[in-house]
Chain A
Amino acid sequence: MAQPLNDRVQAWLVQARADARRRGLAELEPLLESLGHAVAALRGADWNDEACGTSGPVSPRPEDRR
């Protein structure tokens, strides 16, 4: 199932589409939409942690936290 796009990914997608059109690459728009879903899945993954204190339950490198 495609990952829903949150506001930050939507903002990135709007900018990317506009840039592609400006560069004469309007045919990229459907590909950018698909990439947006992949980006949303990546950003929503539970290994990510954030400076504001929310961190996922999974650390890719537990040895780094010793």
Chain B
Amino acid sequence: MSGAHLLSITDVAPRLAARAVSSVEITQACVDVIARRNAELKAFITIFADEALAQASLADADIAAGRYLGPLHGVPVSLKDLIDVAGAPTTAASRVRAGTVADRDASIVTRLRKAGAIIIGKCNLHEFAFGTTGEESAFGRTLNPADLTRSPGGSSGGSAVSVATGMALASVGTDTGGSIRIPAAACGCVGLKPTFGEFPSDGIVPLSRSLDHIGPIARTVGDASLVYHALRGSNLSAAAGDAKVPSLSLRLGLPGPYFMDILDEEVRERFGEAVRRLRSAGVGVGEVRIPHAAVAPSVYLAIQLPEASAYHATALERQPQDYLPGVRQRLELGRYVLAEDYVRAQRGRDLLRREVDAALGGCDALVLPTLPIPAPRFGETTVSIGGKSEPVRGLMLRLTQLFNLTGHPAISIPCGTTAAGLPCGLQLAGRINRTEDLLRAARACAEALGSA
């Protein structure tokens, strides 16, 4: 085994193009890791080993014949299992969808295939993407490879684990309150939530349609950029050019006080160290305010819960026993949110969007931690911070959900580990419809932090 399946896509793509390594070799290495570790980690629900190897063989033949499609050609990519692949089940990690088989690829899968990506399998998730820990899945919980007693984060936990362990070189997930960025942070990966609505959402099981975002989980910002451009259907050669390291003339806004109020001490230290390193690398970091940030969790609940309940209303009546208990309870909870409160929340959402816009007025991006705590232990519903008990679910969403409400693009990049080796994430949020600018800023920051 060459180890190419553990490299970044930007490192492996030139070797594939030059035929120094083959797609079959890389795909077989990923399949081997899946065969060795998936029974324990439960990162995948469906594995396309034979199909992936056949596609890899075709990719090698095309590259040899001079039909190179670009940097994703022949690269194994996984998908969160709420994204349709023709002929395969889309389980959403739930018994509710038993027996469903997609009759066509989701548009984003078509785009990945057009870029030459090899779809290697479909990843485990928190049931219907409605949770942050991955503990509730009809296919068993996904484990964090950094500590098997802990959650990999969610809801796209299987996707992050597949990337972190060499089962795939990148993955595509969804993010309704942080479900790409949270597992990326908990597993030491890069996770990008683009601007709201950048990609077609057909063939993807929704959680809350006005909050759902589609995006990549990858090993580096450059790789996330490549997958992002593939999902957009844009020219990947241009994307590779865009990914050149920019000069460090960035200005970042550090939002407070809500975002720094409740942080695990080690997370606070890693984040503080990261900000100091960015400053020493020439990045300007100044304080900004988002005055109504503390109300964001209430706004989020009043929108997310009823939107999810509306989608599940019929299934909740017909087959409530097929949901896992916690997910069913949260879906039922959404039926008690009054329409008048949904309207109040929408007004709050407008205000928050303008406040984030204003905070970004004098800087390129906001900088904050992704998760206020390291990956929690399974079964842990509260953690103690500063001597006070805090709910795990609320904490995990606390720093990410704002940007689902406002639609601003946001990305999580690695920023060190705790003494126990648990990854921490640094989050950057950029301007609406300027996801590429955010990627460039993230690449500069990752370079400065030594995690590019």
A interface residues (Cβ-Cβ under 8 A, vs B): 3, 12, 16, 19-20, 25, 27-28, 31-32, 35, 38-39, 41-43, 45, 47-48, 58, 60-61
Contact = CB atoms under 8 A, between A and B. Distances in A.
A45 B295 contact: yes
A35 B351 contact: no
A32 B299 contact: no
B350 interface: yes
A64 to B, nearest CB: 10
Nearest to A37: B298
B329 A31 contact: yes
Given A25-B332, A28-B333, A31-B333, A39 B351 contact: no
Given A38-B297, A39-B298, A60-B354, A45 B348 contact: yes
Interface stretch (B65-73, B103-111, B337-345, B414-422): B337-345
Interface in B336-364: 336-338, 341, 344-345, 347-348, 350-351, 354
Nearest to B297: A38
A16 B336 contact: yes
Contact of A61 (B299, B332, B350): B350
A48 B336 CA distance: 21
Contact of B336 (A32, A41, A43): A32
A52 B86 CA distance: 56
B343 to A, nearest CB: 10
Contact of B338 (A12, A31, A45, A47): A12
Interface in B320-339: 325, 329-330, 332-333, 336-338
Nearest to B346: A60
A3 B345 CA distance: 16
B442 interface: no
A17 to B, nearest CB: 9
15 contacts: A3-B298, A20-B332, A27-B329, A31-B333, A35-B333, A38-B297, A38-B298, A42-B298, A42-B302, A42-B341, A60-B347, A60-B348, A60-B350, A60-B351, A60-B354
Residue of B292, B297, B298 most packed against chain A (CB within 10 A): B298
Q: Tell me if B's interface is mostly helix, strand, loop or mixed.
A: helix
B344 A42 contact: yes
Interface of B: 292, 295, 297-299, 301-302, 305, 325, 329-330, 332-333, 336-338, 341, 344-345, 347-348, 350-351, 354
Contact of B329 (A28, A41, A47): A28
A32 B338 CA distance: 13
Contacts of A42: 295, 298-299, 302, 341, 344-345, 348
Given A31-B329, A42-B295, A48-B344, 4 more contacts: A16-B336, A47-B292, A47-B351, A61-B350
Contacts of B305: 35
A47 B347 contact: yes
A48 B343 CA distance: 10
Contacts, number: 65
A38 B344 CA distance: 12
Contacts of B332: 20, 25, 28
A5 to B, nearest CB: 13
Contacts of A41: 295, 298
B344 A45 contact: yes
Given A28-B329, A41-B295, A35 B301 contact: yes
**Which are the 6 A-B pairs with shortest beta-carbon distances?**
A38-B298, A41-B298, A60-B351, A60-B350, A16-B336, A42-B298
Nearest to B394: A34
A38 B336 CA distance: 12
A16 B301 CA distance: 16
A28 B348 CA distance: 26
A41 B298 CA distance: 7
A33 B366 CA distance: 33
Contacts of A38: 297-298, 301-302
Contacts of B297: 38
B338 to A, nearest CB: 7
A27 B323 CA distance: 15
